[in-house]
Amino acid sequence: MNGTIILTYVALALVFILGIVAIYLKNIATKLEAELSKLSGQPIDQSTISFEKNLLRGAIDHALMRALYYYGTIDIKFDDEKSPVKELFKGHYRDLITYLLRQDIVINVDDDGEKRLVPFFNIFINKVYLHYVAETPETIKRLFFKYFSGYSVDSYFEKLRGKPSEIPYLTDYVQNFLWNQFDAIEHDQKKIMERPEVASFKVKFEDLLSRYDYDCLRKIYLNIYNDNGDIDTIMSSPGLTKPENNVKEKEKKNEFSVDFHEQSK
């Protein structure tokens, strides 16, 4: 009799203990599932990815336009000895693009009392980066490392590679933009030269190129302060139409094709 009672109490105790363990394990599993859910986040569809990447590229475009307009509207002196070009005059947009693509055009920089030669492109990238970090909202900047590593192929495998940075991506982005602009300028200059009024000497080729430079810088200004994101409105301004528009119609209206958002499509 006593043995039966003892076995009953032991069985009840085991059931109780197993119940406690089951509840504990269930709580652990629930907490783990909640933490994993936080880490994984909600599923992101393609439209969300495109929207967020466009926000990032829009912020980079804004910084790029700010830097272009700054250097396009001031006179810049390069190093007298090492640089093959000594000066860039304000308003000369075509020269600005060309000089940024040449690593041999350098500026003598005073770095805490130490003089060193820095390529004009490097100084320009630094300007773009400063505008990006200073003028981009934190909510947009936080998206950057969601889609980009912050490293280049050269820097990723270094033992002391440091923190990720936007600089590698910005550098590639700006270089791509500049080469696209260089090709567009070459194309547009050829079209201007072929215009009947230039061939007949009724209009000076140099005057039309000066107008072209002016229109390019004017478009940069419009892009900086275009807060509604309506790029088509800007593109339809005189002298600022997209390259794919009808060329003959542009020539009649004395308009030129310069697409500042070619890489953001």
Mean pLDDT calculated for residue range 178-185 = 93
Quick check: helix, strand or coil at residue 118? strand
- Arithmetic mean of pLDDT, 38-49: 66
In whole angstroms, how far apart are CA 122 and each of 103, 107, 169, 170? Answer: 9, 10, 14, 11
Residue 181 in this model has a pLDDT that exceeds 80:
yes
Inter-residue contact 106 to 88 (CB < 8 Å): no
Burial class (CB in 10 A: 0-12, 13-18, 19+), 81: exposed
Q: Using CB atoms within 10 A of its CB, is residue 47 exposed (0-12), middle (13-18) or buried (19+)?
A: exposed
Report pLDDT for 30.
Answer: 72
User: Which pair of tokens denotes residue 123?
Assistant: 């100084």
93-100 vs 205-224: helix crossing angle, rounded to 10: 70
At residue 232, the pLDDT reads 43
Q: By the 8 A CB rule, do 256 and 239 touch?
A: yes
Give the pLDDT confidence of 117-166 residue by residue, as tens digits: 999 999 999 999 999 999 999 999 999 999 888 888 877 777 777 888 89
pLDDT value of position 109: 87
C-alpha span between 130 and 134 (Å, rounded): 6
Q: Is 112 left (phi over 0), alpha (psi -120 to 50) or beta?
A: left
User: How many CB atoms neighbour CB 101 within 10 A?
Assistant: 14
The mean-pLDDT minimum among 75-89, 107-121, 235-249 falls in: 235-249
pLDDT tier, 258 (very low <50, low <70, confident <90, very high otherwise): very low
